[in-house]
Chain A
């Protein structure tokens, strides 16, 4: 697959003034998708998201056309998200893919949480996250592509199965599964659109404009809105600023206030904390899963081996949450 050539051929359809694509470069790529940055010769900065040829689609990841449809559905609601320019067709020669505008800003959580450049926007960022989440969650479901539905008990059971398959014997996880199982909120009568991975790393922030883009919609589903509110509070993405639970930059009340003011149905702190704890437990199990790809020889890199040693950070966080609940 010659991605630069295919993008150049596509250029005139992406912008009337364009004749070719320039500066095509791969930004990142996992097994399930690739991200490429490029420019058109009329100066338009763009991003291509595509499924690699022969790439395995992880069970949870959405079709890219669904991701594009979600971006298009939330943008008119005031959710900062990249504008989709083109969903690729077979004739484009890019496989399953879409093109969106490239935003400028920072996604590295460590910089957003700690750099002086972001000091001015940090105090309002948690509230803004609450407002944006309310806009996402209240998106009308009519017209959306099919999405998985999940709830707290189902997520717990899913991750417990993965944990059992790992063969690990980790008493903190055993305790956390039972503790959370007893407290799992019942499924919502009307599940809502949930981003599924709303945290530092997937939030593009500008030092001047604040939150300019919510990225990586591949885990979007229908479920409990408190899932998104809890996930951004998981200690693993506070980058040292553990006293500011919302992403290392804000307080719970800022997030919940922004959420309520923007029309989100009120969520109690207790419900948020349930999902935060489940988030830590999920991240811990994910670390074990990533280690498993090393252990089974799928990816023998030191990086994959070492991520298993991050499971213990989630154990510390879970012990703290259980102590606070005891």
Chain B
């Protein structure tokens, strides 16, 4: 479901991480990013399948058609682009909100924008 980068690409990037000299600031930074990437992959393995299934369920209703996630997501993008669906349509926004929350729970659960969104009645 998640691309740019996919879990496969992240795994490949992790394989390329080499330990730097002790005390090196750049190496320490890279090590922290790598830890973060491993944690992201773990969350994606745990939460990704349910998030994708939920998205497919919402998209089938919103678009009134069948298909896998890639097909339905591409269809939603196309309809938003050409105006068949409008950005502030409550049904569209509800799907966008649910998807964004699910993806952020994987990518960056500590991001404060989640709290800001949840504070909105």
**Chain A residue, CB-CB nearest to B103:** A312
**Chain A residue, CB-CB nearest to B92:** A175
The answer to whether A302 touches B17 (Cβ under 8 A) is: yes
**Chain A residue, CB-CB nearest to B4:** A308
The answer to whether A303 touches B96 (Cβ under 8 A) is: no
The answer to whether A235 touches B112 (Cβ under 8 A) is: yes
Residue-wise interface mask of A (133-146) relative to B, using a CB-CB cutoff of 8 A (1 in contact, 0 not): 00000000000000
**Chain B residue, CB-CB nearest to A172:** B96
The answer to whether B103 touches A315 (Cβ under 8 A) is: yes
The answer to whether B4 touches A311 (Cβ under 8 A) is: yes
The answer to whether A308 touches B5 (Cβ under 8 A) is: yes
Contacts of B29-76 to chain A: CB distance below 8 A? 29-30, 33-34, 36-37, 40, 73-74, 76
**CB contact between B93 and one of A169, A310, A319 (< 8 Å): that residue:** A319
The answer to whether A171 touches B77 (Cβ under 8 A) is: yes
CB distance from B20 to the nearest CB of A (A): 12
Q: How far is the CA of A172 from the CA of B100 in the complex (A)?
A: 8
Residue-wise interface mask of B (5-45) relative to A, using a CB-CB cutoff of 8 A (1 in contact, 0 not): 10001100110110000000000011001101100100000
When distances are taken between beta carbons in the complex, the residues of chain A under 8 Å from B76 are: 171, 174
Residue-wise interface mask of B (100-118) relative to A, using a CB-CB cutoff of 8 A (1 in contact, 0 not): 1101100110011111110
The answer to whether A168 touches B3 (Cβ under 8 A) is: yes
Interface residues of A, CB < 8 Å — how many? 44
The answer to whether B14 touches A313 (Cβ under 8 A) is: no
The answer to whether B83 touches A178 (Cβ under 8 A) is: yes
**CB contact between B30 and one of A176, A295, A303, A309 (< 8 Å): that residue:** A303
The answer to whether B120 touches A316 (Cβ under 8 A) is: no
When distances are taken between beta carbons in the complex, the residues of chain A under 8 Å from B81 are: 174, 177-178
Main secondary structure of the interface of B (DSSP, over half): helix
The answer to whether B5 touches A170 (Cβ under 8 A) is: no
When distances are taken between beta carbons in the complex, the residues of chain A under 8 Å from B14 are: 302
Q: How far is the CA of A326 from the CA of B121 in the complex (A)?
A: 13
When distances are taken between beta carbons in the complex, the residues of chain A under 8 Å from B36 are: 306
Q: How far is the CA of A175 from the CA of B74 in the complex (A)?
A: 13
**CB contact between B88 and one of A174, A179, A235 (< 8 Å): that residue:** A179
The answer to whether B73 touches A169 (Cβ under 8 A) is: yes
The answer to whether A178 touches B80 (Cβ under 8 A) is: yes
Among the interface residues A166, A316, A325, which one has the most CB atoms of the partner chain B within 10 A?
A: A316
Contacts of A267-324 to chain B: CB distance below 8 A? 288, 291, 294-295, 300-303, 305-306, 308-313, 315-317, 319-320, 322-324
Please tell me if A195 contacts chain B, counting CB pairs below 8 Å.
no
The answer to whether B108 touches A302 (Cβ under 8 A) is: no
Given contacts A178-B87, A309-B108, A326-B93, contact A320 B9 (CB under 8 A): no
The answer to whether A170 touches B111 (Cβ under 8 A) is: no
Among the interface residues A241, A288, A320, which one has the most CB atoms of the partner chain B within 10 A?
A: A320
Please tell me if A36 contacts chain B, counting CB pairs below 8 Å.
no
Given contacts A169-B74, A311-B4, contact A301 B13 (CB under 8 A): yes
Among the interface residues B17, B30, B77, which one has the most CB atoms of the partner chain A within 10 A?
A: B77
Q: How far is the CA of A291 from the CA of B3 in the complex (A)?
A: 10
**Chain B residue, CB-CB nearest to A280:** B113
**CB contact between B37 and one of A166, A235, A306, A319 (< 8 Å): that residue:** A306
Residue-wise interface mask of A (164-207) relative to B, using a CB-CB cutoff of 8 A (1 in contact, 0 not): 00101111101111110000000000000000000000000000
**CB contact between A320 and one of B17, B74, B120 (< 8 Å): that residue:** B120
The answer to whether B100 touches A175 (Cβ under 8 A) is: no
* CB-based closest 5 A-B pairs: A175-B87, A179-B87, A174-B80, A316-B113, A305-B13
Binding site for B on A (CB under 8 A): 166, 168-172, 174-179, 235, 238, 240-243, 288, 291, 294-295, 300-303, 305-306, 308-313, 315-317, 319-320, 322-326
